[in-house]
A and B are shown apart, each in its own frame.
Chain A
């Protein structure tokens, strides 16, 4: 796009272009926005430390015993913020899946990927990529949660793996 804009300015003296389909004149915005969020994970830090050590941790309210996944600092039932960190059950049952063919540009380096939701044996559900051939996967099948390195981006993340 940047090259197109430069070319148009050179040619017409303005960043304008006629849309091919409609024939309507368009202004090509010069003020490109690069958006990247910086998100606080301070209060759920053990989750990320656990991930690095190959553990999947989440929060459990010390008072009412409610387990939260994703982990959160505050228990809305008790209105008390006193959580303990417990390990998630690593096995569960696949509930549903999809294969993403039309990807967001920020996932452009990956091949089509399978996103699934599983219900873990200790209760919580989890959304994650499902490893393996999606044509062989079916809701109701047993899956295991594993931690692995994302090949393209090199960071640790959990994924669902079919139990043979």
Chain B
């Protein structure tokens, strides 16, 4: 058993339209640097977890494929799926395996190659991440559509505007431009985001995260194994929540109950005051698959009171130097959103930020030594909140 679990190495592929590589090649681009930076050999890995939502890409038996390609056979493995929270769900499996004593070293790989299918096919498939029959089959909801229903409710209840949402895109592109692994390394203006190219009203093209290929990998280790690791961070806590399949089964569309639940558990386990968590955190990655959900995340994570999230973005409080820097790697919006890789990519970002290894112009000040990752699957169907720390959690 290991009370504490460390991340001792990380790897990250370039995100984007990666037609230049196939699935195992894309995976290797993050597995290799993860093994290298952790200074471990394949034989040291007890178990590996592969986060992949799939369907749009050709290979289905991914753990076996990677066992073959990356010399991981005959070690145990598991493929994990939790929609857009697949990556953090994969981390969950490795984290609990080490905590329980079943493994000492676990490789977590998140990978998605969405561009093996044509865009209309991806739109068709991703619209099904809700209730298949009562939302998709008869009413044609799309992934932007599910969140747009929340954006509309938020605008009406709290007086937010499309322009407020656009500010999230401007911020995340600002930081994406400084991240060499991001799909979009280009800043955008508010006017550009506001161009009326509607996808699902009130969302326009630039409110939406793109369709992305990418991979990210981390090496998790027990306290005993991690003691000699030069560079490491620790998982302080995790909270996991699940929502209903049908949005119509929920009480409110301005917040995600699973996220509030997951955050509360994660804060409690890490000894963080739920009324002022930003006082304990140097920054956060939140699930900005669209612009409005980033604002909702501020509130679900209690960085702001209900209805107060929109003020945080208006006042630029989630830029570096503000109340709490959020998505300063570009977020899903500019870095890209390869479904299964996103949660693992957030862990890579926590590692880089806490160890002050982020690229120039996007390094937060690390004073409190803690970073938060908020990874949502579907529209609050699953939420994983993970707190990472530079030092071991003081219990």
Interface on A for B, CB 8 Å cutoff? Answer: 1, 19, 21-22, 24, 26, 29, 37, 39, 69-70, 95-107, 110, 113, 115, 117, 124-129, 134, 138-140, 157
Contact = CB atoms under 8 A, between A and B. Distances in A.
A39 B200 CA distance: 28
A157 B20 CA distance: 45
A11 to B, nearest CB: 20
B373 to A, nearest CB: 28
Contacts of B366: none
Contact of A117 (B19, B136, B149, B201): B149
A125 B19 CA distance: 43
A21 B153 contact: no
Interface in B231-290: 246-250, 253
Contacts, number: 104
A98 B148 contact: yes
B201 A139 contact: no
Contacts of B135: 127
B248 A100 contact: no
Contacts of A39: 133
B145 A98 contact: yes
Contact of A115 (B17, B145, B156, B250): B145
A115 B140 contact: yes
Contacts of A19: 19
Interface residues of B, number: 42
Contacts of B156: 96, 138-140
B360 interface: no
A98 B201 contact: yes
A133 to B, nearest CB: 12
B200 A98 contact: yes
A137 B33 CA distance: 53
A37 B132 CA distance: 10
A95 B253 contact: yes
Given A69-B248, A126-B248, A99 B201 contact: yes
B331 to A, nearest CB: 21
Contacts of B189: none
A46 to B, nearest CB: 16
Given A98-B152, A126-B248, A127-B135, A21 B17 contact: yes
A125 B249 contact: yes
B134 A127 contact: yes
Contacts of A98: 145, 148-149, 151-152, 200-203
B20 A107 contact: no
